[in-house]
Amino acid sequence: MDKINFFKKNRINVIGGGLAGVEAARQITNFGINVTLFEMKPVHFSKAHKSENLAELFFINSIKTNSIENAGGILKEEMRLLNSLVIEAADNTTVPAGKALAVDRDLFTEYITDSIEKNSKIELRREMYTEIEDDVLNIIATGPLTSDELVNNIMDITDQKNLYFYDSISPILNSDSIDYSKVFRASRYENEGEGDYINCPLSKEEYYTLVDEIIKAEKVDLHEFEDTGYFESCMPVEVMCERGRETLRFGPMKPVGLIDPKTGKSPYAAVQLRMENSRATMFNIVGFQTKLTYPEQRRVFRMIPGLENAEFFRYGSIHRNTYLRSPGLLNEFLQLKNNNNIFFAGQITGVEGYVESAAMGIIAGINASMKCLGLKQRPVPAESSIGSLISYISGFSGKNFQPININFGIYPDLGQKLKKDKKRELIAKKALDSINDYKSVLSSQSF
């Protein structure tokens, strides 16, 4: 299929009318291109979706902070610059919630549904999409609960091993917040690089106290559609503890092969931290995927020696979540490398969260429009939050790809040492400047 044919058709399919799909649809129509937006509700509801409206928010109506002192706030500001429908709707349906941007859920989804329905360039088809058409550009934005039929089709085009059905996330920490006087670098096995891991040594008493606190801690309830069968392959740390107080010591906390240089001996147990990105700004706590509530993770995991003041870039979790192993599969334009008529957007790309998902919709919409019009696609600048998320999901080179939310650990290195506040201020400035540049480049292209 060549671009001339696409241009004649002047139509792009967007599959899924969630947060990412509506963003993609708006961006495409801004380029004068028609959209067919497929949304299976209300004919078919997933086990978690309840509303007939588009861009449904699940259980929580907060889309987190608006302040650009925070990475989530910078991301939202970038999206405002790019004419985001989701942020526009949020700004118009906000309810008081301190620094957080919380919305009236019904008004928010009505605002978006209304905007899509009134857009004469969008044909909204309330039907389940099952077979990916190959004579038109497609953006697949069907989210964490993509219908089974489409999942099968996606597996055919991406290779089965590249699709996951649950995420299993260990907490990620800011490497600057680790107390290096209490930990040591060493790997358990010879084939692992010297010093790949940071080890937090625990005495016998510290180990059992930690295990007992994990067992006692408050947990998030499973949703009715989340069975526990998956726990065998990615068992939450609390379930390991409940199976026996020694389980962790023979599992992720085993001290085998680890000698603490301070004592010259193996500790009773050790928590290992593994580098999450090549710049070593983020470390994850190995094997600590969990359903502990966020405040409990903060309280209990800070009992680990060396982590007393740990700053959590991302808390641990386990969810039902359909997502791609995007590194190697998607390029920087969110296109399948082996079939660049197919774009992905939203949570299915391996980002996590309402706002992050919507942001991927904006970019897939822009890039699909560029391709449809035969124009050069432009990478989103790496300095921006959106560019950093895309670099992460398309370029992650570690072993265990897990969904990522926006956080200060994923922006490029600033190349200078600065205090935390100044550093964040500079990140925000560079990010917003770069998105303004990106916008200018896009609008300078002739249509």
By beta-carbon distance, which residue lies closest to ligand FAD?
18
Q: Nearest to residue 148, comparing CAs of 40, 244, 74, 298?
A: 40
Binding status of residue 16 toward ligand FAD by CB under 6 A: yes
* Minimum distance of ligand FAD from residue 114's CB (angstroms): 16
* Minimum distance of ligand FAD from residue 320's CB (angstroms): 6
Radius of gyration of the chain (CA): 23
- Check: CB of residue 10 under 8 Å from CB of residue 33: yes
- Check: CB of residue 89 under 8 Å from CB of residue 103: yes
Cα 316 to Cα 237, 251, 312, 328: the distances in Å are: 10, 18, 9, 25
**Which residues, numbered 179-238, are part of the site for ligand FAD (CB under 6 A)?**
223
CA atoms within 13 A on the CB side of 264: 0
Residue whose structure tokens are 């989701």? 86
- Check: CB of residue 173 under 8 Å from CB of residue 313: yes
Long-range contacts of 85-90 (CB under 8 A, 24+ apart): 85/22, 85/23, 85/26, 85/112, 85/115, 86/19, 86/22, 86/23, 86/55, 86/112, 86/354, 86/355, 86/358, 86/361, 87/355, 87/358, 89/55, 89/115, 90/63
Binding status of residue 122 toward ligand FAD by CB under 6 A: no
Binding status of residue 423 toward ligand FAD by CB under 6 A: no
Among 33, 137, 141, 271, indicate the residue that binds ligand FAD (CB under 6 A): 141
Binding status of residue 103 toward ligand FAD by CB under 6 A: no
Binding status of residue 241 toward ligand FAD by CB under 6 A: no
- Taking CB under 6 A as the binding criterion, the range among 88-96, 196-204, 349-357, 411-419 that sits at the site for ligand FAD is 349-357
Site string for ligand FAD, 316-335 (x = CB under 6 A): ----x---------------
- DSSP state, residue 230: G
Q: What are phi and psi of 11, to 5 degrees?
A: -150, 140
Binding status of residue 40 toward ligand FAD by CB under 6 A: yes
- Taking CB under 6 A as the binding criterion, the range among 107-115, 146-154, 174-182, 266-274 that sits at the site for ligand FAD is 146-154
* Minimum distance of ligand FAD from residue 190's CB (angstroms): 40
Cα 409 to Cα 64, 376, 435: the distances in Å are: 18, 30, 19
* Minimum distance of ligand FAD from residue 48's CB (angstroms): 4
- Taking CB under 6 A as the binding criterion, the range among 143-151, 227-235, 237-245, 254-262 that sits at the site for ligand FAD is 143-151
* Minimum distance of ligand FAD from residue 147's CB (angstroms): 4
Binding status of residue 350 toward ligand FAD by CB under 6 A: no
- Taking CB under 6 A as the binding criterion, the range among 4-12, 58-66, 263-271, 298-306 that sits at the site for ligand FAD is 58-66
Binding status of residue 243 toward ligand FAD by CB under 6 A: no
- Check: CB of residue 342 under 8 Å from CB of residue 349: no
- Taking CB under 6 A as the binding criterion, the range among 70-78, 245-253, 306-314, 347-355 that sits at the site for ligand FAD is 347-355
Binding status of residue 138 toward ligand FAD by CB under 6 A: no
- Check: CB of residue 78 under 8 Å from CB of residue 432: yes
Amino acid at 78: E
Among 14, 19, 240, 390, indicate the residue that binds ligand FAD (CB under 6 A): 19
Among 24, 26, 37, 41, indicate the residue that binds ligand FAD (CB under 6 A): 41
* Minimum distance of ligand FAD from residue 33's CB (angstroms): 20
Among 9, 49, 80, 188, indicate the residue that binds ligand FAD (CB under 6 A): 49
- Taking CB under 6 A as the binding criterion, the range among 19-27, 85-93, 176-184, 199-207 that sits at the site for ligand FAD is 19-27
Provide the token pair at 32. Answer: 């004068």
Question: Distance between CA atoms of 418 and 428, rounded to whole angstroms?
Answer: 14
Would you say 346 or 387 has its CB closer to ligand FAD?
A: 346
Would you say 286 or 406 has its CB closer to ligand FAD?
A: 406
Cis (ω within 30 of 0) for the bond into 42? yes
* Minimum distance of ligand FAD from residue 318's CB (angstroms): 12
Binding status of residue 25 toward ligand FAD by CB under 6 A: no
End-to-end CA distance of the chain: 21
Q: Nearest to residue 319, comparing CAs of 236, 243, 400, 240?
A: 236
Residues within the interface to ligand FAD (CB under 6 A):
15-21, 38-41, 46, 48-49, 58-60, 128-129, 141-147, 150, 223, 320, 346-348, 353-354, 357
